[in-house]
A and B are shown apart, each in its own frame.
Chain A
Amino acid sequence: MQLGKIRGAIHSTINHSFYNGRKLLIVDYLDYKSKPTGEYVIAVDTVGTGAGETVLVIDEGNSARQIVDRANAPVRAVIVGVVDQISTRD
């Protein structure tokens, strides 16, 4: 899993049927110091997050399909959690 920050959302009406009615959020990846790494991903929201929140993202197909409970769904990036606090000991 990776840390990310919700940067925005995309809206689409013409898409693969699996994505009908699903929220697609743009997530900036963060390093463990919560700084953007420059990479981003468009992830399916499964926990109801909003802009600016720090989240946990899974970017792996098998796990994503287990989460959305659809065997052959074309999904890879899924938001699986909202992060309240990160504490590291340097």
Chain B
Amino acid sequence: MHLGKVIGTLTPCVVYTGLEGVPLLLIQPLNPQQAPAGSPFVAADTTRMCGRGELIYYESSREAALALEPWFVPVDHAIIGIVDNVKLTDYPVERSDD
């Protein structure tokens, strides 16, 4: 799982069976310091409570589909939860030299 931020919502007019009523949100992936890291993508919202600008954590690949009910649906990213707070321990992080 990784951190992300909800930056938009999506309303499909036609959707695959099993995905009716599942909210689709636009997510900007973040690094632990909550800076953007990677390009935005669309994720299914399993909590059904996410709003714009919220800090979330998401899962990808088969585990994303498993988070939904019914789970045998074609989904590759799913929001697993809304983050209340992130506690980072700051220790010197030297980057690897390769």
Contact = CB atoms under 8 A, between A and B. Distances in A.
A21 interface: no
Contacts of B84: 10-13
Given A10-B3, A10-B87, 18 more contacts: A6-B89, A8-B32, A8-B88, A10-B85, A11-B84, A11-B87, A14-B47, A15-B81, A16-B47, A16-B80, A36-B95, A38-B96, A40-B2, A40-B31, A42-B57, A61-B63, A74-B66, A76-B1
Interface of B: 1-3, 31-32, 46-47, 49, 57, 59, 61-64, 66-67, 71, 78, 80-89, 91, 93-98
Interface residues of A, number: 36
B63 A75 contact: yes
Chain B binding surface SS class:
loop
Given A8-B86, A16-B80, A24-B57, A40 B95 contact: no
